[in-house]
Amino acid sequence: MPGLENRVALVTGSSRGIGKAIAVALAEAGALVAVNYLTHADEAKAVVESIGGTGGRAAAFGADVSFGAEAQRLIGEVEKRLGPIDILVNNAGAALVRGLDDITEDDFDRTIASNLKSAFLCTQMVLSGMRARKWGRIVNISSIGARIGAGSVSVAYGASKAGIEGLTRAYALRLAPDGVTVNAVAPGLVDTDMGKPLIEAGVPARIPVGRAGTGDEIAQAVLLLVGNGYMTGQTISVNGGSLFS
C-alpha cells in the first residue's frame, strides 16, 4: 500500500459501490479524501464518518461533475477545504439500461456526459496544479463493457467506457513529462447495486473464478496505479478472468 500522507484525493461518485471502496482505501493509505456525491448525501456522510472512525480524514462534497460549472465549483471547494488535489479518481457515472429499440438521443447524451465528459472536465481542472508540482495521479474507472460492448446495459455505456480508455491514453502521453500519470481500471462484474441484477441472473457462474468481484479488489488496483510512477497510459483489467487483454 503506498504511503499517501499529506496527499489530497478526490474520488467522484464515491458515496457507495466501487467509489466508496476506493475512497476508503485511499484514506487507509493516508490520503485526505474528498467524497463526491450527486444525490446520495446521507451515504456520503456515512462514508466520511466510517473513514473518520478508523483514524482517516475525509469530507463530503455534492456536485454533478457532468456539468462544467459544477465540476469547477467542486474542485474549488475541495482545494479550499482540503488543499491542492494530488490524486483524482474519475469514478462517477451512469448505467442506463436501454435496448436498441428504446434508447434515445437524450439517453446517449446523458450517458456520455456522466461517464466520459465528467472525466474530461475534472481532469482539465486539476492539471495546472499537478503539473506545477510535478506530481499527480489520475485513475479513470472504465469497464469490461469497453471491450465486450456492454450488451446488457446499452450501446451508449459501452461507447462511453471505450472513450474513457482513449482519453486515458491521450492524457498519459501528454502528461508523462510533467510527472503526472494517467491510467484506467476496467472492472468486470462487481457486487454492487449496479451489478446485482446480473448476479441474481446467475452470471457469476460463467466467470472463471466463479464469483463477482468486490469493491475492495477494484480499490487495490487503483492503489497499485497511485503508488507506481512508471505506469501510465495503461488499462488494468480486474474481471475474474472474464476477458484477457
Active site residues: 157
Is-contact 186 198, C-beta < 8 A? no
C-alpha to C-alpha distances, 73 to 42, 64, 69, 137, 209, nearest whole angstrom: 21, 10, 6, 21, 42
**Closest listed residue to residue 137, CA positions, set 237, 30, 11, 28:** 11
Q: Residue 10 corresponds to which cell in the numbers above? A: 478526490
Q: How many CB atoms lie within 10 A of CB 129?
A: 17
Q: How many CB atoms lie within 10 A of CB 186?
A: 24
Residue 113 one-letter amino acid: A
Q: Residue 84 corresponds to which cell in the numbers above? A: 491542492
Separation of alpha carbons 59 and 49, rounded Å: 9
Separation of alpha carbons 97 and 198, rounded Å: 12
